[in-house]
Amino acid sequence: MTQTAPYTVAAIQFEPTMFEKERNIIHLLDMCETAAAAGASLIVTPEMGTTGYCWYDRAEVADQVEPIPGPTTGRFAAIAAAHDCYIVLGMPEVDPVTGLYYNSGVLIGPDGVVGKHRKSHPYISEPKWAASGDVAHQVFDTRIGRIAIVVCMDLHFFETVRLETIAGADVICHISNWLAERTPAPYWITRAFENGCYVVESNRWGLERTVQFSGGSCVIDPDGKIAAVIDTGDDIAYATIDPARARRRLVLGEPVFENRRPELYTALMTNSFTWNPQDFFRLYGYQPIPAGRASRLAVAQFAPRADPEENLARIEAFATEAKASGVDMLVLPELSLTGGEDPASRAEPIDGPLVARLTRIAMRQRLYLVAGFAERAEDGLYNTVVLAGPEGRVGSYRKTHPSIADRAWAKAGSDWKIFDLPIGRVGLATGHDALYPEAIRVLALQGCDIVACPAALPTGFTGGHRGTGIPHNYPIPKGADPYHWHAFRIRGGENNLHLAFANACDPAKGNPGESAVFGPDNFAFPRQESPILDDEGMATLAIDLTNLDTPYPTSVVRRKDLIVMRLPHHYTPLIATAGQ
């Protein structure tokens, strides 16, 4: 039985030197000894910390690899035994049966090797010498709690950490050689935030074969706050892990694991973008994705009131401004027609006067409007999003992941909705849907270029950065940034689509705004996004999909590079409904 008592964790930041394996091991042993003597019960070291990372091929790394267990794990096991602690070690592994090499992380405890994880989602380096990990993501029950490991690129894919937290992990040990952005990286923070778990990040720093690594080793709390961090240099970050806190699995106060909808996630087991999407989506005469064109997206941020007339007046004013700015689609906040206070009292059918008036605004201004309202249907009430455009009412979507407040009055929707418009393929989500990475991923797998997401979320999904001393080259940002992390910027980038996130702005009621149109690539600097709004107003972003209607798409929006690298054969537990 694992304990739930808090304990100290140590994240080690270290710069290994290639071809100096023994030196690296001695240095890491010393740092682990220091951390253990300081009372750390869990010590995490960087990816490939024993050898360095940028190997050219199997021949070059051949004298660096070892079996697990092996001589090196034995040396670290001696420290674990002496101090009754656990160590996560990053090293290149050789399988003695197959002779294959792996980029591995091994968990070592007082009694020796507990288990290991072989990097499953490779980056540029591993295919030069290593096989992709062949074991699905595991959680190790230990005396101090439930521990899981991911290696660097694995964490780009929400599925990896989700698998481990569904299986009960309290803490994710992310060992990495992260590069090309300021750290703690927004991806790291998002994985802690969206799963309500701890992430212990051990990253290397320094320069190796022209590659500048980012440092930023840290411990991230389940709410996405940074508990301890190192910027640059060899050092150790200490913080406290409270397994009981992780096991509550709260995200912005919502029990998201209880409210997952696995029956709606079956598309996660597909990999549509391994085929040319221009072929895939038109096979058998099926509707192809619309040819792309240049357009402008916008989000409007305001506080919807309990007065639909006032809300419609605000919406019309924003629509007029949007049209004058050349906007093709404007996304408005959740429940922006009926207001968020006691919405059931103002619920109307989809063909009622409020939606009809919104539709007339869209037709008059010749642009697409996406807005939320309380829908009264024959079988009950729904938190619904409606899409209207120049051609009239196009369609609607009922929120599939209602919040605690929603469930007091609304039923959950039961399906996803996508629409082919002249500006591209558009999917709809709203509010708390976006807290579930599964939701936006399903829309991406159906070929969406854009997801429009009206919202009324409370504060807690953004975070700043004070700047880094790592000498990144232009245009990678190094300075301070109040919006270094925005959870819904990651939603756009990890799915290679444009996310139009329109949040209510009502600080007195806990809605911070922080709306924006986010771009499809989190590693493209300067960022491809609109300004992030901190007050009522509108933000716009020009997008250009004109290069999509070609035999082989050249845009990341249609190629969906990160989607292609998913490994769905590992993901079956994400759609399991038994016990849900």
- Beta strand 380-389 with 139-142: parallel, antiparallel or unpaired? unpaired
Same domain assignment for residues 308 and 372: yes
| C-alpha torsion angle, residues 152, 156, 159, 161 (rounded to 10) | 50
459 located within any domain: yes
* Dist CA 350 CA 333 (whole Å): 17
Domain membership of residue 258 (yes or no) is no
CATH number at residue 215: 3.60.110.10
In a domain? residue 480: no
Closest residue by Cα to residue 189 from 174, 169, 204: 174
Final residue belonging to a domain, choices 226, 251, 276: 251
Q: Scanning the structure block, which residue is given the tokens 């007082």?
A: 110
**Does residue 43 lie in a domain region?**
yes
137-151 pLDDT, tens digit each: 899 999 999 999 999
Cβ–Cβ under 8 Å, residues 478 and 470: yes
Clarify whether residues 231 and 139 are in a common domain.
Answer: yes
Given a contact cutoff of 8 angstroms between Cβ atoms, the answer to whether 4 and 247 are in contact is yes
Shared domain for 298 and 242, answered yes or no, is no
| Alpha-helix residue ranges (DSSP H) falling in 347-463 | 353-365, 437-445
* 259 located within any domain: no
Whole-number pLDDT of residue 580:
45
Instruction: Say if residue 224 is in the same domain as residue 299.
Output: no
Range list of β-strands (E), 321-477: 329-331, 368-377, 380-389, 392-398, 418-421, 424-428, 450-455, 462-465
Cα distances (angstroms) measured from residue 512 to each of 224, 318, 502: 17, 19, 11
Does one domain contain both 178 and 324? no
Residue ranges making up the domain that contains 316: 293-464+495-571
CA 267-271-272 angle, 5° bins: 90
* Number of domains within the chain: 2
Q: Yes or no: say if 70 and 138 are a contact pair by the CB < 8 Å rule.
A: no
Q: How far apart are CA 550 and CA 547, in angstroms?
A: 7
Contact 254, 404 (CB under 8 A): yes
503 in a domain, yes or no?
yes
Contact between 445 and 563 under an 8 Å Cβ cutoff? The reply is yes
For residues 93 and 191, membership in a common domain is answered with yes
Identify whether residues 390 and 507 lie together within a single domain: yes
- Tell whether 299 and 241 lie within a shared domain: no
**Residues 229/238, Cβ–Cβ less than 8 Å:** no
CA distance 429 to 385: 8
Query: For 285-329, what is each residue's pLDDT tens digit?
Result: 888 889 888 999 999 999 999 999 999 999 999 999 999 999 999
- What span, in angstroms and rounded, lies between the C-alpha atoms of 516 and 502? 7
In angstroms, the CA 135 to CA 161 distance is 14
Considering the domain architecture, whether residues 246 and 384 belong to the same structural domain is answered as no
Same domain, residue pair 199 and 303: no
- Answer whether residue 482 is part of any domain: no
Return the pLDDT at 550: 66
Whole-angstrom CA distances from 159 to 151, 220, 362, 392, 422 are 13, 19, 38, 38, 32
For residue 470, the SS3 value is coil
Domain end residue (candidates: 251, 282, 306): 251
The answer to whether residues 231 and 367 belong to one domain is no
Task: Select from 219, 251, 283 the last residue of a domain.
Answer: 251
pLDDT at 548: 57
CA separation, residue 524 to residues 468, 529, 558 (Å) = 18, 10, 16
Answering whether pTM is above 0.75, one says yes
Whole-number Cα distances in Å, 168 to 141, 147, 274, 471, 516: 9, 9, 31, 38, 34
- The answer on 104 and 211 residing in a single domain is yes
Strands 450-455, 424-428: pairing kind: parallel
pLDDT lower than 50: segments of the chain: 1, 580
In a domain, 282, yes or no: no
Radius of gyration of the chain (CA): 24
